[in-house]
Chains A and B, each alone.
Chain A
């Protein structure tokens, strides 16, 4: 009967973990109004986790734009549809690659730094010190970071897509020789600001919630040891990435399943 008890214990531990995560998330939401009242704390965090992620986001966006233009041109030319290159690049970026790749990069760059920061604050008893000073660490430390993540992610995703489109333009017009007017006008005609760009922004805001909440939870719940913090940062990347990919499928199905 030992294996039965083992399965039961594992199931209980898993349910307990989900329960703690759910309570943590509700607490985080409840602490948001307080951080709105002290928005200066949020601005500092937007600088720390948003502004400092700019370089990797812009570099990756440019590289993705370059490669998309090259790869899609090779395929589209086979069907005589090379003029659609701008449109395909744009839709790929604003609907999918922008939000998803930005979220994956965000989890690796900003998510790990959030987890390590909160984990080390816990290990250094700074979180306990706040508690004993009658300052709620959820309001003072976690909520401003959470809000900053939700605000930063769509901005970063928009920049990723914009720089990606510029990269694709450089390759398509400068290198391949596609007509520049055609490249831009087909986008202007076929890309809808609400359906395509708007849904992409909504997606990235959802990914912002997921990545930041996971990173903060992992930091807050970490075992306060060097191994614990290392393990928590790894878990942040793995869980955030899988959750983003799963949520992306659901959101895509909800947003784009019906043809226009």
Chain B
């Protein structure tokens, strides 16, 4: 069922985007992300998922179409509007994007110190609350180089939620994590969404975790094409071959195993040989 427009916090309206004019990453894409829900955008690497997050964050401007945040069309040229909207969102980067010269505590305190006039005592309490929410209160004094990849991702999550954003965007939150860290990350995304009432947007290619925690799943393919969307159950039970291939992780199907290439005989220099044989056969 297609969500109603008024319930959507983010609307992607016929958006096309390419880093250069010759190759479009997103092509006439339309999506809606519902308030208070966890929406997962699934797709192969390079299908434009991260680009979609960057468009919502106003890092890039769409070549065509519009991105609407809570009824306001994002205009990247209007820096005042852009910064006002960005204050309402938090983003978890794929590799954390933590400040390596700061401690865990100072990383989480960073947005609070920069964006608010709160006294240091209150910042201290908020930072410890956020770190406690991700289970890392004890790691507050550690340097970023002293925490593991999974812990760094949780520190980044604590930083992303430091200012209680309305929209939390997760860029590949499960990539490169061991199974335990992956389970922890998935549980945190769901719990934080339910506790804070925020809207969550998860970009990933990890099907089981996303299916387990999402309210709505969007499946994208190369060129930013929308393949399907629906509840996790609807997609898991889909009979569409492309959806089935993706959710079951089959190596070949509608999405080809081979990158488009010229004829294999031509690449191995066997076309002349084939012609010669054919000519010899014809002469007999």
| Nearest 7 A/B pairs, CB to CB | A125-B97, A129-B97, A134-B86, A134-B83, A134-B87, A132-B91, A125-B93
Contacts of B115 in A (CB 8 A): 133-135
Q: A257 vs B59: C-alpha distance in the bound complex, in angstroms?
A: 50
Query: Count of A-B contacts with CB under 8 A?
Result: 41
Contact call B83/A128, Cβ cutoff below 8 A: no
User: Which of the residues A126, A132, A135, A136 comes within 8 Å of B57, measured between beta carbons?
Assistant: A132
Contact call A126/B59, Cβ cutoff below 8 A: no
Contacts of A126 in B (CB 8 A): 97-99
Q: A128 vs B84: C-alpha distance in the bound complex, in angstroms?
A: 16
Contacts of B95 in A (CB 8 A): 124-125
Q: A133 vs B86: C-alpha distance in the bound complex, in angstroms?
A: 6
Contacts of B84 in A (CB 8 A): 134
Binding site for B on A (CB under 8 A): 124-126, 128-129, 131-136, 140
Contacts of A133 in B (CB 8 A): 86, 110-111, 114-115
A139 CB to nearest B CB, Å: 10
Contact call B114/A135, Cβ cutoff below 8 A: yes
Contact call B59/A129, Cβ cutoff below 8 A: no
Contacts of B111 in A (CB 8 A): 133, 135
| B116-142 interface bits toward A, Cβ cutoff 8 Å, 1 = contact, 0 = none | 000000000000000000000000000
Q: Give the residue name and chain of the A residue nearest to B111 (CB).
A: A133
A163 CB to nearest B CB, Å: 31
Contact call A128/B86, Cβ cutoff below 8 A: no
Q: Give the residue name and chain of the A residue nearest to B91 (CB).
A: A132
User: Which of the residues A124, A135, A136 comes within 8 Å of B97, measured between beta carbons?
Assistant: A124
Q: A30 vs B230: C-alpha distance in the bound complex, in angstroms?
A: 47
Contacts of B93 in A (CB 8 A): 125, 128-129
B100 within 8 A of A: yes
Q: A129 vs B89: C-alpha distance in the bound complex, in angstroms?
A: 11
Binding site for A on B (CB under 8 A): 57, 59, 79, 82-84, 86-87, 89, 91, 93-95, 97-100, 110-111, 114-115
Contacts of B98 in A (CB 8 A): 126
28 pairs, CB–CB < 8 Å, chain A vs chain B: A124-B95, A124-B100, A125-B93, A125-B94, A125-B95, A126-B97, A126-B99, A128-B59, A128-B93, A128-B97, A129-B91, A129-B93, A131-B57, A131-B59, A131-B86, A132-B57, A132-B59, A132-B89, A132-B91, A133-B110, A133-B111, A133-B115, A134-B82, A134-B87, A134-B115, A135-B114, A136-B79, A136-B83
A20 CB to nearest B CB, Å: 16
Q: A82 vs B199: C-alpha distance in the bound complex, in angstroms?
A: 81
A125 CB to nearest B CB, Å: 4
Q: A126 vs B111: C-alpha distance in the bound complex, in angstroms?
A: 13
- Interface core residue of A125, A126, A129, A136 (most chain B CB under 10 Å): A129
B184 CB to nearest A CB, Å: 22
Contacts of A140 in B (CB 8 A): 114
Q: A136 vs B86: C-alpha distance in the bound complex, in angstroms?
A: 11
Beyond A132-B89, A133-B110, A134-B84, list 13 extra A-B contacts (CB 8 Å). Answer: A125-B93, A125-B94, A126-B99, A128-B93, A131-B57, A131-B86, A132-B57, A132-B59, A132-B91, A134-B82, A134-B86, A135-B115, A136-B83
Contacts of A128 in B (CB 8 A): 59, 93, 97
Q: A125 vs B99: C-alpha distance in the bound complex, in angstroms?
A: 10
Contact call B86/A132, Cβ cutoff below 8 A: yes
Q: Give the residue name and chain of the B residue nearest to A124 (CB).
A: B97
A18 CB to nearest B CB, Å: 21
Q: Give the residue name and chain of the B residue nearest to A139 (CB).
A: B114
Contacts of A132 in B (CB 8 A): 57, 59, 86, 89, 91
Contacts of A131 in B (CB 8 A): 57, 59, 86
B100 CB to nearest A CB, Å: 7
Contacts of B94 in A (CB 8 A): 125
Contacts of A124 in B (CB 8 A): 95, 97, 100
Q: A125 vs B93: C-alpha distance in the bound complex, in angstroms?
A: 8
A137 CB to nearest B CB, Å: 11
Contacts of A125 in B (CB 8 A): 93-95, 97
Q: A128 vs B91: C-alpha distance in the bound complex, in angstroms?
A: 10
Contacts of A135 in B (CB 8 A): 111, 114-115
B27 CB to nearest A CB, Å: 24
Contacts of B97 in A (CB 8 A): 124-126, 128-129
Q: A245 vs B196: C-alpha distance in the bound complex, in angstroms?
A: 58
Contacts of A129 in B (CB 8 A): 91, 93, 97
